[in-house]
Amino acid sequence: MPETDPLKARSAAAFRAFSLYLRWYFARNFRAVRITRAGMPADPAGRPLIICSNHPGWWDPAMFILLMSTLLPHRIGFGPMDAAALNRYGVLRKMGVFGIDPDTRQGAAAFLDTGLRILSDPRSVLFVTAEGAFTDPRSRPVRLRAGIAHLARRVPQAVILPLALEYPFWNERRPEALAHFGPPIQIAASEAAAGRSVAAWTAALEDSLTQAIDSLAAASITRNPALFQELLRGTAGVGGVYDLWRHGAALLRGERFGPSHGGAAHEAPIPEPPSHEGREPPSHEGRG
């Protein structure tokens, strides 16, 4: 029987190895992985993190691992997944993924118990796709399950980061993988945090996540790479005979060939993500 306790099942070595594999896998399947420059996360050192994400597609757990290894490499990441789905992707248990049954009282209680144990370690990050099912990022209103609100009431030392994801096609054959973090919510600094009801916390988190999704959409529709930090680059162009012809035409014009439809100007080197070590996030008041 596989180990089901994520605190015992997670393997730091397996996580590092799988993160390297994902860099190759994302590069094969996406034009680039990008995060908005306006939405780079600050790391509140010494405090656990809850990342409240939307759930646009199958790629989300892999995206969490990639973001975790790139932006928060000194943290220890965990996240829930439907138990039936996790049985098909058992390797994810070594990445800190644990199974839950979201449609039962027992499943909700198990999620809360596991989440509290994880967040007792200030190095931990808990990724939660709080919509509970695949949901188009354009769907409104944003509706979250109550589990993350129960956690917010019980872990006042934690910081919540809203995370928006989407995977649109821009100008290339492969899609983009885009991310945006909203303003952090410092639970202890939120008004009446201890006494706020689950319904009020849920409404506040829905509002914060909606704003993050809308901010990402506004940046995405511009198709402007300058609005994003490029975390990983895949391949551009169509490939085959068409790109061979384009390459030859560029040589005849005396130009450097760039396979991107934006040309060589869109093939700039990837800068390093900025470091946020030691920065404290500003306070953010939720609704309710």
41-62 tens-digit pLDDT? 889 989 999 999 999 999 999 9
Domain end: 209, 232, 255, which one?
Answer: 232
Q: What is the pTM of this model?
A: 0.83
- 171 with 245, same domain: the answer is no
- 48 with 78, same domain: the answer is yes
CA–CA separation, 111 and 271 (whole Å): 38
Of 270, 221, 247, 228, nearest in space to 27 by CA: 270
Answer whether residue 180 is part of any domain: yes
pLDDT classification of 37: cutoffs 50, 70, 90:
very high
- 212 with 256, same domain: the answer is no
What is the span of the domain harbouring residue 260?
A: 238-265
CA–CA separation, 29 and 175 (whole Å): 8
Exposure class string for 113-132: b at 16+ Cβ within 10 A, else e = ebbeebbeeeebbbbbbbbb
- Residue 288 reports pLDDT greater than 90: no
- 211 with 76, same domain: the answer is yes
Residue type present at position 41: P
CA–CA separation, 231 and 213 (whole Å): 19
Domain end: 188, 217, 232, which one?
Answer: 232
Residues β-bridged to residue 232: 33
Residue 94: CB atoms within 10 A of its CB come to 19
The token pair that represents 219 in the structure block: 């940046």
Of 55, 50, 115, nearest in space to 85 by CA: 55
Answer whether residue 274 is part of any domain: no
Q: Assess contact for 37 and 224: CB atoms under 8 A.
A: no
Domain end: 232, 255, 276, which one?
Answer: 232
Q: How many domains does the chain have?
A: 2
